[in-house]
Amino acid sequence: MAYAGLAQEYLGVPAVTRAYTTACVLTTAAVQLELLTPFQLYFNPDLIFRKLQLLISYTATPPFSPALRYRYCRMLEEGSFRGRTADFVFMFLFGGFLMTLFGLFASLFFLGQAFTIMLVYVWSRRNPYIRMNFFGLLNFQAPFLPWVLMGFSLLLGNSIIIDLLGIAVGHIYYFLEDVFPNQPGGKKLLLTPSFLKMVFDTPEEDPNYNPLPEDRLENQPGDQDLNQQPPQ
């Protein structure tokens, strides 16, 4: 029963979040089991472009990051991207592309944390009035969350360059997707490719479609009007 409940819970996770979180968990498990080493996970242009090992560069993260990634990835997919799976996948591709470019020029080796911060940033800007609490010590509005996480990384003695990269990429996406199209003279610049919509989005029903009489629901066998009184 426990296994069935766990499987049901797993299948209830939105598709993109489920696939990405699974990749993160499998990557972490592979490292713990010594099937992979950190030297195979860092951002290396030779691995990326010649051996096509891009995914693992975005699934290697610090220990606390997978929980953040799962939480905010799921909230995005179930919130502002609900019913827009193709747009969500496109955000992944757009963010990954920018981070790859910046990583090349800035010599950054692990990009998974930056990707997590990007997800947090986009969520926080789309939910500006939510109140947050950090370890019961600090209360703040959601848009400050990426900066609080960056400060926490600084307290731990980590470099904040990765966090700044995630914030920068998240802001670029947010500005192009949510801000610029609503400015005078602005327009939508990030257009999800049609092939992604064909793969990930369910086609909408034609509102002008008029089914044949024999196809209408009320004429299907076994259907009854629930308000109809049974014969006496």
pLDDT tens column, 169-217 = 999 999 999 999 999 988 999 999 999 999 888 665 555 555 555 445 4
Contact (Cβ atoms closer than 8 angstroms) between residue 121 and residue 174: yes
| pLDDT tens digits for range 103-156 | 777 776 667 788 899 999 999 999 999 999 887 788 999 999 999 999 988 988
Looking at residue 35, what DSSP letter applies?
Answer: S
Query: Which of 110, 124, 107, 102 is CA-nearest to residue 171?
Result: 124
Contacts (Cβ under 8 Å, ≥6 apart) of 142: 123, 124, 127, 128, 129, 130, 131, 132
Quick check: helix, strand or coil at residue 27?
helix
